Structure 1
Amino acid sequence: MIKFKENYISKALKGIHFKELTLVQKQVIPVLQDKKDMIVEANTGSGKTHAFLLPIFDNLNLDKNEIQALILAPTRELAKQIYNFANELAGYSKKKINVELYIGGSDKQNIINKLNKGMPHIAIGTPGRIADLAIKENVLKIYTTNYFIIDEADMTLDANFIEELSSILSIIPDTSVNAVFSATIPETLKPFLSKYLKNPTTINVHPNDISSLNISHFFIKTREQNRFNTLQKLVKTVNPYLCIIFCNTKESSQTVFDWMKENNENVTLIHGGLDYRKRKQLMKRINKLEFQYVVATDIFSRGIDIVGVSHIINYELPRNTEFYIHRTGRTGRVDFDGIAISLYEFNDNQYLDRLESKGIKSTYVEIINHEIKEAKTRKARSKREWKENELDYKAKAVVKKPKKVKPGYKKKYKRAVEAEKKKIAKKRKR
């Protein structure tokens, strides 16, 4: 049984409807209460944010007006979400707990003026803005912090924040408890962690490997030229409560969004090319469930909590299999079930093998007369396609294209190839 020194924390947990602590919270909180460095690898939606916030709040000294916890997140949206959770907890304390958010897009001079009057107890922000305020402007006094947290660490390092993080860590006191949280900890992150963490406790919480128990994974075979047609059929077939359609680029997301808008779907578009203020407004509207569909790039795939996402559609499979987990983790959160539907093509077979080796239970389906029906397994299809491709290759090796092209030669050539394929197939049967 985990005990908290501060009575208001128990009240806060009841107030925010915590029935019980999640598995990751039960493992992480005691270690942070003991003030030990940590590396935590846990699924999206497992409760990582409260796992580090609760022990931080329990160890605040409100008689000291200085920074006691510094929390970094790779995007403004994630930083704002952590800030909202922290403020929610702070609201249950009788004493004032000062939590501040430092991200790009806000009035820098106002922030500096406010910091010159005093420090917050908890500072939350993106690496770029925190480094700017702490190092360049020297107004954010982070050298007093007791806890330094990096959330979504793999994405933070992917976003090329290494220089800012190194600068920030050079100011963090040696006595600080440093903890790294992420859905995945890639090998490339480990040298950084070994340099800055002191004998860290490592916790891995991955129920059913990395696949959420609450998500059903469906895959629909398509081809590059008719991918869009498959999506059209799919949108006309499913009736989601809230669906996020993921694309790999701003260009493809814009194409999908434009088509859906033309077809009067209740849809919005969100990607990194939008100005932060616009993204912030859209996030509020999305959380109010004003849309049935959200077309998005991977900026929307990490850590953002939206209640009610019933479906994820991968219009394009993400380049990295780990991002498949991040994307599909937007649904099936806590006690809800979710559905993930991905469009794939023949060239994705190795990618799908890797997903299945990591615990994804795949169901292969097709759309027939506006119904989703189970299809032959991918491997059976691949075997059949390989045989067809092999026959085609051998027949074309026999039937040579004419050197001089005459009218109607394409049809004649095609008929000759098909006839040769039948001959080859008959010989094999004998």
Structure 2
Amino acid sequence: MSLFETMGLKAEILGAIQELGFENPTPVQEQTIPFLLNSDQDMVALAQTGTGKTAAFGLPIVQQFDTSVKVPQALILSPTRELALQIAKDLENFSKNINGAKIATLYGGSDIRKQIKDLENGAQIVVGTPGRTLDLIKRSKLKVQDIKWVVLDEADEMLSMGFKDDLDAILKDTPVEKQTLLFSATMPKEIVRIANTYMADPHEISVGKKNTAAENVEHNYYLVHAKDRYIALKRVADINPNIYGIIFCRTRAETKDVADKLMQDGYNADALHGDLSQAQRDHVMSRFRSKHLQMLVATDVAARGLDVNELTHVINYNLPDDPEVYIHRSGRTGRAGKKGISITLIHLREKGKLRDVEKKMGKKFIKVPVPLGKEICEKQLFNLIDRVEKVEVNDENIAEFMPVIYKKLAWLEREELIKHFVSVEFNRFLQYYENAKDINVDEAREKESMRNERGDRRRGGRDGRERGDRGNRERGGDRERGDRGRARRGNGGNMSRFFFSLGKKSGVNKRAIIDLINQNTPGKSIDIGSIEVLKGFSFFEIDSNYEKEITKAFKNARFRGQKVNIEVANKKK
């Protein structure tokens, strides 16, 4: 007998979840389901993404709503359409054996008329994003006066995406006597405010430690020069032939660039970013969920609310500035008790940031050498042999072709025949990696080189001004500019001085400003002059030829979640 059978769930629901492969409840389900089946008290649950929250609140709601009443009885809010659709699909699976159960999904970017029709047809459970849900309430198409349950799923994400006012407006219209269920990975002050305003003495459930990494995720890092970052990424993919993962990049431009390179190089990959239309986004996500894509390249914003199980890897093409962003990324793999791997590609000057993440998540990173060509060829060869050995042979369909094939290959001995079949696919790896270099960074040598470089500058009697070459000392691509030969020095010409709205109290330093310039102007070689970081704000100089471009690039820039504002202070001659 499974623990689900001891919780008091109906036979129809138990049959549905058994078909889905549910065996034993996750910790959040074990605590939440019995409570919600036996209490109408409000509840706050702290649990990370991927811990089984949908079943935790969904099974009790499916058990208790009234199919004879054709009005919305449960309202479930989520931050993105992808998560809303996933929740609705799960609820449909849970209620598949219950006659009369109807579920409506409300989200922007899709035909509102169909969603209105679903509501008019008597949906009892409504899953929606805050914006579209509020729109339909204002149109009087979504009636909320009979709501018995309100679920705020990924509440912290909804707030971080700017839905505070929408949530307030929706919650004000719902009945006072409803049961409110709030699920969140973290408890920022706005979540506490919502709990205090709209919930009555909520019962609290906490699963796992806040802001810590999942126990079954292994955290690895590869130390390479930034110019070798893409080469390292390809080797990660090649050493893991069955990879199914998300590659996180900082910017839309970088996301497009990495995805385009992977596709051009023959990898089964695509991009997810803010420039895609909703139809394009849906197409990419459908291919990824069905595993027709092995690798999805995405920004953090584009991947919000993206709920995909069975990911083998999360790859950080860059280490994020905020440790909590890393923790959230890595939590997308290693779900449902399975092992997962989170890989980060870093250069030497990011080791300090790596330690900050370790401290925040309470786990250590493991340094892993970038695989060499011989290792990759060996792994690919044996993967090919495994596939040939396990392939399903359809004797009936290929029978008519076999006589010609036997005749064609009759001149080959057994050993030669095997070699020919293996070489068909394996030769391309042998050719590509035949003269592949070792791109691992020799840490001791690099540190010695950096010490010598600092000594040379001190002996040169520099005046202390932070010129572009001092702020961007890393050689090659360590300015994260791709494959440029070296970091450029100030051009000695006109420089524009910019006011920067954040300073030391926001965690800004000179390195952070340089990184922001690099991230928001990918592919550009912009000379950086002096940088001055004060307590509440900062100043930096760049080549005047790029003044308009920098102003435009920083329009939507953020640093650790804070909006960044810049404006021209004056030009320096």
TM over 0.5: yes
1:302 Cα shift? 4.5
Superposition map of 1:192-341 within 5 A: 192-206=194-208, 210-299=212-301, 301-341=303-343
Unaligned 5+ segments in structure 1 are 373-377, 402-430
- Do structure 1's residue 87 and structure 2's residue 53 form an aligned pair? no
1:365 Cα shift? 2.1
Q: Work out the CA distance in 2 between the residues paired with 1:181 and 1:194.
A: 15
Normalising by structure 1, report the TM-score. 0.83
- Do structure 1's residue 66 and structure 2's residue 127 form an aligned pair? no
Q: Work out the CA distance in 1 between the residues paired with 2:356 and 2:43.
A: 28
Q: Is contact 2:159-2:190 (8 Å) kept? A: no
1:323 Cα shift? 2.3
Q: Work out the CA distance in 1 between the residues paired with 2:223 and 2:190.
A: 33
Residues 51-97 of structure 1: CA distance to partner in whole angstroms, max 9, x if unpaired? 0001111211222222110001111100000000011112111x210
1:56 maps to 61
1:392 Cα shift? 3.0
1:366 to 365, 369, 373: 369
Return closer, same or farther for 1:126/1:235 CA change in 2, 3 Å cut-off: same
1:207 Cα shift? 6.6
Q: Is contact 1:9-1:54 (8 Å) kept? A: yes
Amino acid paired to 1:366: P
Amino acid paired to 2:72: I
Unaligned 5+ segments in structure 2 are 377-440, 463-573
Return closer, same or farther for 1:238/1:80 CA change in 2, 3 Å cut-off: same
Q: Is contact 2:221-2:346 (8 Å) kept? A: yes
Normalising by structure 2, report the TM-score. 0.63
Amino acid paired to 1:122: I
1:353 Cα shift? 2.5
1:390 Cα shift? 4.2
Residues 297-326 of structure 1: CA distance to partner in whole angstroms, max 9, x if unpaired? 224645544344212111022333222222
More displaced stretch, 259-268 vs 72-81: 259-268
Q: Work out the CA distance in 2 between the residues paired with 1:245 and 1:323.
A: 14
1:105 to 102, 109, 113: 109
Q: Which has the higher contact order (CA 8 A, sep 6+)?
A: 1
1:176 Cα shift? 1.0
1:385 Cα shift? 6.1
- Do structure 1's residue 124 and structure 2's residue 127 form an aligned pair? yes
More displaced stretch, 281-290 vs 17-26: 281-290
Q: Work out the CA distance in 1 between the residues paired with 2:232 and 2:74.
A: 49
1:78 maps to 83
Superposition map of 1:343-362 within 5 A: 343-357=345-359, 358-362=361-365
Q: Secondary structure at the match of 1:202?
A: strand
Q: Work out the CA distance in 2 between the residues paired with 1:320 and 1:243.
A: 21
Return closer, same or farther for 1:207/1:239 CA change in 2, 3 Å cut-off: farther
1:9 Cα shift? 1.5
Return closer, same or farther for 1:317/1:175 CA change in 2, 3 Å cut-off: same
1:21 maps to 25
More displaced stretch, 316-325 vs 151-160: 316-325
1:417 maps to none
More displaced stretch, 189-198 vs 67-76: 189-198
1:398 to 427, 449, 459: 459
Amino acid paired to 2:95: A
Return closer, same or farther for 1:222/1:188 CA change in 2, 3 Å cut-off: farther
Q: Is contact 1:301-1:323 (8 Å) kept? A: no
Amino acid paired to 1:65: K
Q: Is contact 1:301-1:330 (8 Å) kept? A: no
Q: Is contact 1:233-1:367 (8 Å) kept? A: yes
Matched-pair identity in %: 32
CA RMSD in angstroms comes to 2.7
Residues 344-387 of structure 1: CA distance to partner in whole angstroms, max 9, x if unpaired? 23453443223222222310123152459xxxxx9x95x98666
Q: Work out the CA distance in 2 between the residues paired with 1:233 and 1:317.
A: 18
1:147 Cα shift? 0.7
Q: Secondary structure at the match of 1:211?
A: coil
Count of equivalent residues:
392
- Do structure 1's residue 40 and structure 2's residue 45 form an aligned pair? yes
Q: Is contact 1:69-1:123 (8 Å) kept? A: yes
